[in-house]
Chain A
Amino acid sequence: MSAPRLPGALVDTGETLKFTWNGRQMSGHPGDTLASALLANGQRLVARSFKYHRPRGIFSAGSEEPNALVQLRRGAAQEPNTRATVAELFDGLHASSQNHRGSLNHDLLAVNDLMAPFFSAGFYYKTFMWPAKFWEKLYEPLIRNAAGLGRLSGQEDPDSYDHGFLHCDLLIIGAGPAGLAAALAAGRAGLRVILADEDFRMGGRLNEESYSIGDRSGADWAATACAELSAMALVRLMTRTTVQGAYDHGIYSALERCTDHLADSSGKPRQVLWRIYARRALLCAGATERSIAFGNNDRPGIMLAGAVRAYVNRFGVAPGRKVAVFTNNDDGWRTATDLLAKGVRVTAVIDTRKGGTRDLDGVRVDHGRQILDTSGRKDLKSITMDGGIRVEADCLAVSGGWSPNVHISSHMRGRPRWREDTAGFVTGGELPWGLSAAGAANGTLTLAAALGEGQATANRIAEDLGHAPDRTPLPRAEDEPFQITPFWHVTASTARAFVDLQNDVTTKDIAQSHREGFGAVEHLKRYTTLGMATDQGKTSNVLGLAILAEVSGRTIPETGTTIFRPPYTPVAIGAYAGRARGRDFRPTRLTPSHAWALENGASFTESGPWMRAEWFARPGEQGWRDSVDREVRMTRAGVGVCDVTTLGKIDIQGRDAAAFLNRIYANPFLKLPVGKVRYGLMLREDGFADDDGTTARLSETHYVMTTTTANAVPVFRRLEFARQCLWPDLDVHLISTTDAWAQFAVAGPNSRALLSRVVDDMDLSNDAFPFMACAEVTVFGGTPARLFRISFSGELAYEIAVPSRYGDAMIRALMQVGKDLDVVPYGLEALGVMRIEKGHAAGNELNGQTTAQMLGLGGMVSQKKDAIGTVLSQREEMTRDDGLRLVGLRPLERSEKLSAGAHLLNPGDPQDMAHDQGWISSVAWSPTLSHAIALGFLKNGAARHGEVILAHDPLRGRSQKVEVTSPHMVDPEGTRQRG
């Protein structure tokens, strides 16, 4: 049962929240964390450690928790490794312990603890090597199954996440005393302020200490400050919001947990990842207490002293009935007095500092003593001091001093600086843009000083940004000096003394690591795994470093430090992804005829960002091949229509447009007459083929370029580069019009007949509008359109473009007026079959690794002008006569299929890469030729038409003889398209 709460707690005891722990019913109150509720229910053993599976309890009261990691929620919403100390309690919460085999109480893997002498630092690098095969089969699976912490559900994350953007003058990270004082000052000075705190209640340690400010408690003062701030229009208070990372130029990422404190997210985003653009930032993230290393310092019941105060003062929970205190600084004493004030028995205060005289009424006080060992496997029972003095205690509050939370300040790789007086690292080196620190985060550990520093720093920032500072005097607050004499570990302890609780790194591991030569801090971290756990070493790094310094006879600054990496606390991967998942991973673009195609049986396929119709199935067709074959046959025999809107379209205008195009395309473009279209080949500047397409000249100064679908964006980018950077004074302007025009290929012997019913008042005869002609026309009585007589299919063909908004009407009209001509829509597959039959290169051939020569287009590259890529296309290895050339291929046994990706070999040659002759790039079954065909690249291929070679496909266990042909397999003379 839940114990009654101590007086003065910040939990609402008027309301009860039910939850289960390992299936057991428990209860708590609003304002509780799972950790405080577990303690209130007497649950002290909550976890098992990573390596030795030692029993562990709650160690802290915040996000630094190394021990109390639990599985929260159930089913697909299961969240492994959740820190009980920050999980807000809600009614119906389910939590269970993790990382044990058998029950939490009787963990079979606790046997590891007995094996500890053999599991010393880096032991796994020295064994498990024999026999070699056993690693993957035996050792590694054993290790993998034992390692890891919690378990993912294996199901899709059922929640959604959002991204948001915020701008401010001042981002204040942390709403403790310094942060609140800073926010008040900045807010009153008129700055746009964001105050973010990871807790669900603002105030930081003001909620957890027995401080008073002015005439009221610290917690009251914090609540009043928040009320004043809430009323300021330019101040945004963000609770449950952790600033996670600092990025260039004042950009910070912050995670807001919107529904984690509710039983159910009810369709709302679970978390929001904010990107905050801040002119200035102030780090008021406080400090994290660290432990002292002594024998068996990891038992359930051993806690940070500040956490003990938090549980007593904020949550009204006594973490023990007999509490001892072990400290090297004044905070230990504060713990004892707070406990006594709440009526909790204190059995001893042990201060490592020699020569102290302070006394406490009715409490055993030991100055200059150390704790050597503890007892109580699953629950602390007693402690033993030097001299063999044994004191009963079921809770030990340990304070080894405070480490400022400088994490964010080192995200730009700035190295923190050691501050002797308060024995902690403070911000140093290259700080994130505009970031400063105040309060405990800056090593200023007393209340009045923190308040003052927060206010003063905010005022300085306000003045920097041109605002008058806030002159409101601060209320009086206590300001006892903070005294600490660093004390890191008890060398007289013979039992293991833990430094990194989560990863089970002990003082002995550190000493051994140093002995083996891993003396650099980074080596220590990597060899022992110190600080590599889910807490990033928040409570252990400085302690480990100090012990390394001691064993290596150096000072802490000489020893150095590791730096922290984003994020400050672990962040759900789903939050970084936001809404970009599933179908919304990337935007989807639809062609103008999409709706019509959907109505007409099309199936669709991804083509870059587009969805394109791949074929239009008709009733009775047995499979996609039936549909595609029919579409090809009907197009080649009659007329077919295909939406080609996805091709990139670029409008090019200006007096120098011709000169510009002549430098962009490898083939000549200066003399293209108005009313004509030309095929163009673009090279990259390194001489390899980049893209191909057509450009039409509509007037003296107006051209329309098409690119491939895949390269629409990069080609436009490169044209702009050439225009702005290479030839800035050419009179030429570019607009991407891909989305502005709906474009349809109309192909086949009946295409002229069909289009003559569509285009207004125009002679489409071969004489009047020959192959490669173009014109601006109107269709259906006045709708503007552009007509190009170009052919990808090899048939008599046109492409007709209308403004996008008429695209849907256009496809319907074409189908309507062409009914008696048996007009057929064809999809991407039929388009592909026809282009392979014609030997046109597409994506599989234009893969960025091929040259004009390889594509059989070497003759197009004009040597008489300086176009992009011309010069480097002529390098020796790229112009070899025996290089790869595009060829057509067909199976010698005509009934066989071909497969793309097969390699070409000379029959009889060894089958290895040294004898590789090329590969098959594209395959199709040709309904026109009634056998399989392919395009491929073959060494010296142009001179080998008629040869029989081997298409070798060991991946699919096939090898077959193929005949080399010209790539132009249907109508090689091109009479049809000119007809």
Chain B
Amino acid sequence: MRYSALKILAEGLTGNRGWKPVWRTPEPKAEYDVVIVGGGGHGLATAYYLAKEFGITNVAVLEKGWLGSGNIGRNTTIIRSNYLLEGNQPFYELSLKLWEGLEQDFNYNAMVSQRGVLNLAHSDAQRDAYARRGNAMILSGADAVLLDRAGVRKLAPFLDFENGRFPIQGGLWQPRGGTVRHDAVAWGFARGADSRGVDIIQNCEVTGFTMQGGACLGVETSRGAIRAKQVAVCVAGSSSRVMGLAGMRLPIESHVLQAFVSEGLKPVIPGVITFGAGHFYISQSDKGGLVFGGDIDGYNTYAQRGNLPVVEDVCEGGMAVMPMIGRARLLRMWGGVMDMSMDGSPFIDRTGIEGLYFNGGWCYGGFKATPASGFCYAHLLATGGPHDTAAAYRLDRFRRGAPIDEKGAGAQPNLH
């Protein structure tokens, strides 16, 4: 069913009774060419691009809960490509370009909204680092603008320019950055994959891998065994648990990142703003809620909830940089479990086990990567080789001494 304004008009006049299910509810088949483990954003995007770009449609996406219940369902919706390092920048820029055409591509309005991302700088050293990063972005074909104090004031006059403990000196602005309605991304990819023949199977938990002679021949699930020529794991947050079923240890820890939304307010924040001297970033949803977050709690956890010190820390950051939000009320807070990798960067790679592929380690940056992650993972599965922009996301990079460490925090997951 193609969606359009006309379709809405027609349905509206006939009692909205003609809408069809957005996806099928198929029974799993005994065998597929590709089984994707994980029906979150990245898994659904992988299925979509496998079908659309490579014509591979004998594909199943297995999801242990409801589709989109991964971190695609609980993030702060930011998209941007303001990365510094060679291994990252082109990949995130590919992702941003895919976002830009995505809605027309899958005929679903995910509300991709490029209202800009502004990173505030509070010291000379931070400005220098942003300048290096902004130049790297431009050299990779992305957009970046270095702002001085006056430039920041013009964009966001409500920031605290007078009384800050760490005064605002300027910032790095990416006008093409923005936000996306996160759930709609999952639904759009699911709809696009389903309509091309991909089986999306909800409430189907993978409990093991079928191994023979060091090769992976399929998966065991709560709904029976399924054979597959390729098994592509894509379960960020649970990567260690799932890959543990195949006997692999990963350079990943699971951590919780809390996120927050305020009551609905009339528009007050133009784009995305990040505080450079504390942990705080914020945007405002189309519905009017201030959507914000900060640092991870810092301890290993699989519980999708955090604790009070980080809540306070995040709100302190908010009040430090924009004290006008003091009387806005925080409506809801929640937590998502992140794959925190050892250098803060992800993996899209084959594993040492034939037929088994791994995509994970997205830290708290996985949402913006969704289209490129799916695109590059599909590329790897279909062609056998990494996509150019994801060539650095190899599992052996630590052995070689080539971490992709944007923060320079070293091998400590809770600092990335």
Contacts and interface: CB of A to CB of B under 8 A. Distances in A.
B139 A903 contact: yes
B139 A913 contact: yes
Interface residues of B, number: 119
A847 B408 contact: yes
Interface in A227-266: 245, 247-248, 251, 253
A161 B127 CA distance: 33
A862 interface: no
The 9 closest A-B CB pairs, nearest first, are A848-B408, A901-B131, A157-B326, A875-B401, A148-B288, A574-B326, A570-B329, A576-B315, A126-B3
A820 interface: no
A767 interface: no
A852 to B, nearest CB: 13
B22 to A, nearest CB: 5
Interface stretch (B102-110, B218-226, B371-379): B102-110
B262 A135 contact: no
B187 to A, nearest CB: 7
Contacts, number: 358
B281 to A, nearest CB: 14
A26 B318 CA distance: 37
B132 A687 contact: no
A965 interface: no
B22 A518 contact: yes
Contacts of A517: 21-23, 25
Given A526-B73, A872-B401, A565 B332 contact: yes
A275 interface: yes
B145 to A, nearest CB: 8
B268 A247 contact: no
Nearest to B331: A570
Given A586-B165, A848-B408, A877-B400, A150 B22 contact: no
A585 B320 contact: yes
A42 B76 CA distance: 43
Given A153-B327, A849-B408, A523 B139 contact: no
Nearest to B114: A136
B131 A902 contact: yes
Interface string A562-584: 00011100111110111011111
Contacts of A533: 264
Q: Which of A144, A920, A922, A952 has the most CB of B within 10 A?
A: A144
B224 to A, nearest CB: 22
A577 B315 contact: yes
B135 interface: yes
Given A522-B73, A606-B166, A903 B136 contact: yes
B131 A144 contact: no
Nearest to A124: B109
Interface string B11-42: 11101110111110100000000000000000
A152 B329 CA distance: 10
A584 B307 CA distance: 23
A686 interface: yes
Interface of B: 3-5, 7-9, 11-13, 15-17, 19-23, 25, 65-66, 68-69, 73, 86, 89-90, 101, 103-104, 107-115, 122-123, 125, 127-136, 138-141, 144-146, 158, 160, 163-167, 181, 183-184, 187-188, 202, 262-268, 278, 284, 286-288, 303-305, 307-308, 311-312, 314-316, 318-320, 323-334, 399-403, 405, 407-411
Given A157-B324, A512-B19, A145 B111 contact: no
A877 B401 CA distance: 5
A15 interface: no
A906 interface: no
B16 A117 contact: yes
A347 to B, nearest CB: 33
A843 B123 CA distance: 12
A916 B85 CA distance: 11
Nearest to B269: A152
A768 interface: no
A79 B330 CA distance: 13
A127 B8 contact: yes
Contact of B140 (A150, A913, A953): A913
Given A148-B267, A156-B324, A688-B410, A573 B112 contact: no
Interface string A899-941: 1111100000001110010011110000000000000000000
A588 B165 contact: yes
Contact of A81 (B73, B264, B324): B264
Interface residues of A, number: 119
Contacts of A876: 400-401
A312 to B, nearest CB: 30
Q: Which of A520, A605, A911 has the most CB of B within 10 A?
A: A520
A578 B312 contact: yes
A570 B330 contact: yes
Contact of A150 (B129, B144, B265, B324): B265
A916 B136 contact: yes
B37 to A, nearest CB: 19
B135 A952 contact: yes
Contacts of B166: 585-586, 606
Contact of A573 (B11, B330, B401, B407): B330
A123 B265 CA distance: 22
B410 A684 contact: yes
A583 B316 CA distance: 12
B7 A126 contact: yes
A128 B288 CA distance: 18
A79 B20 CA distance: 43
A701 to B, nearest CB: 31
Contact of A512 (B16, B104, B125, B268): B16
Given A536-B331, A566-B333, A576 B135 contact: no
Nearest to B329: A570
A844 B108 CA distance: 45
A508 B135 contact: no
